[in-house]
Amino acid sequence: MRKIYLFFFTISGLAYSQQVPDTLYRPIIKKSTYVKGKGSVVYIDEGHRNFHTKDNRFLPFARLLQQDGYIIKGFDTVFTKERLKNVNILVISNALSPDSRPPFTSPTKSAFSKKEIKHLKKWTANGGSLFLIADHMPFAGAAAELGKAFGFKFYDSFLFDSERRGILDFSIDNSLLASNSITKGRNRDELVDKVVTFTGQAFETPKDALSILKLNEKYTVHLPDTMWVFNDNIKQFKASNLSQGAVLEFGKGRVAIFGEAAMFTGQLAGQQRRKVGMNADYAAQNYKLLLNIIHWLDRLY
């Protein structure tokens, strides 16, 4: 069984000590949405032991949005009604509870208090735009209660394709990438017909959600009791009708939920500094999907 997961460990198993941001990654944006520094403000959560923050592993994420004219700020405190009052777009990526420490075992504690979830739900319903990213175990479990508030069911899991790879392909050609306003963008230059994710989790969506990254029986959800510990007794099931990325109109607000984080950044992994994320040649359109999601959350279409 361990041989089956060899590639997965060589990519995703480097998560805590050997993933650094690719500071040289600079995709070409033919026409920025805003004049530099004049766009909408995007806040990135940094107050919940987040694995990805704007100045570290999500630096390529932040720089890409800055290239497009957005203003990026950190949100380094708890979520309250008062502190959310002037926030329009909020990104939360791979949060953990205050006392979470490896080895991570199930059940995973929520990264957010019940009051925070209540405030986030009401803020979104009143017009806020939330971009929630919750990766494989333990991040999926840590965000499960927040996802549930919007009708999503997260599995604190790992997602593999039929070949047990850690790289998953979604395209218009294989019918796993939805064709809609987000993947089409606002013009031909923004069109996305293929994206790549790097393991992550799978989740159930509410009936009104629009799944962008669709899953089928060729994908399997694995639910280990301990992070990185795999054996023949692990509970698993087919990912038919599940999603790894979806959007939802919620009251007056908008929600984008994705079950994988590396796809939206550019990282260098291991001693060989292997490119993992939107900086990889085989994931060349991922940055376009990220921009299109932000444009949708920004109500540009």
Terminal CA-CA length for the chain: 47
pLDDT at 16: 46
Q: What is the pLDDT along the chain (301 residues), one digit of tens a residue?
A: 343 443 344 344 444 447 899 999 999 999 999 999 999 999 999 999 999 999 999 999 999 999 999 999 999 999 999 999 999 999 999 999 998 888 999 999 999 999 999 999 999 999 999 999 999 999 999 999 999 999 999 999 999 998 877 899 999 999 999 999 999 999 999 999 999 999 999 999 999 999 999 999 999 999 999 997 888 889 999 999 999 999 999 999 999 999 999 999 999 988 889 999 999 999 999 999 999 999 999 999 9
Specify whether the CB–CB gap between 256 and 232 falls below 8 A: no
pLDDT at 270: 84
* Short-list 113, 102, 107, 51, CA closest to 225: 107
Residue 127 CA to residue 130 CA, distance in Å, equals: 10
Question: What residues contact residue 86 under an 8 Å CB cut-off, 6+ apart?
Answer: none
- Burial tier of 107 (Cβ tally within 10 Å: 0-12, 13-18, 19+): exposed
pTM of the entire predicted model? 0.94
pLDDT at 101: 87
Residue 135 CA to residue 142 CA, distance in Å, equals: 10
Residue 267 CA to residue 228 CA, distance in Å, equals: 20
Specify whether the CB–CB gap between 180 and 212 falls below 8 A: yes
Handedness of CA 14, 241, 195, 71 (dihedral sign): negative
pLDDT at 10: 38
* CB-side neighbour CA atoms (13 Å) of 220: 15
Strand (E) or helix (H) holding 183 = helix 181-184
pLDDT at 151: 98
What is the edge-to-edge ordering of all strands in the sheet holding 235-238? 158-160, 220-223, 235-238
**Hey, is 181 helix, strand or coil?**
helix
pLDDT at 104: 93
